[in-house]
Amino acid sequence: MNEALFWSRVDKNGPVSEHRPDLGPCWIWMGGLNDSGYGIFYIKRSPKRAHILAYRLLHGEIPDGLVLDHLCRVRRCVRHLEPVTQRVNTLRGVAPSALCALKTECPSGHKYTPENTYLDPKGARHCRVCKIAAHERWESRLDVEGQRKLSDYRKRYRQENRETLIAYLREYHRKKMESRRDQKSYA
């Protein structure tokens, strides 16, 4: 790789990031960009991401299992880079998944605690209290329509044994997720 050619396409007097002004000026890639806005440098007709090449030139190889995070949030910057896990990189961003991870309570105002949080098979969080309330609304709708009647004993049991129901729902969904994993492993 021609290092002189690579560094000739970097403006080391770039702007200071609004996200992290304490980092100083960005080194802006002035060469081509890919569709995502990251710098591209061609080596033997093969496109390589400029920030990854810059990191390797300045610091060596990226440790296994880690990706580069732009601390300044400027995709064209080849200076403010830190190797982190993909999860940390995602959570530091402003994508919907990062914004949802910052939420501490459900839309109804219930806290996301380990006891009150259910993770569905896709990894999305749900409030157990709201899930139980939605299930009870569904069952009461069935009562009204006459499709199925719940006995008074069952309703009383539900009210008196909410913790038992939560434990039951946890176990049910754990088994369901295990069976889905087993089905995927056979596929």
pLDDT of residue 94: 84
pLDDT of residue 84: 97
Angstrom distance (rounded) from CA 59 to CA 51: 12
**Beta carbons of 114 and 170 less than 8 angstroms apart:** no
pLDDT of residue 155: 66
pLDDT of residue 165: 72
pLDDT of residue 156: 64
Put simply, whether the predicted model's pTM sits higher than 0.75 gets the answer no
Residue type, 83: P
Domains of the chain: 3-99 (3.90.75), 103-186 (no CATH)
Q: Which residues in the chain show pLDDT less than 50?
A: 145-147
Residue 154 region, left (φ>0) first, then alpha (ψ -120 to 50), else beta?
alpha
**Beta carbons of 122 and 100 less than 8 angstroms apart:** no
**Beta carbons of 137 and 129 less than 8 angstroms apart:** no
Q: What is the tens place of the pLDDT at every residue in 110-141?
A: 999 989 998 889 888 899 999 988 888 877 76
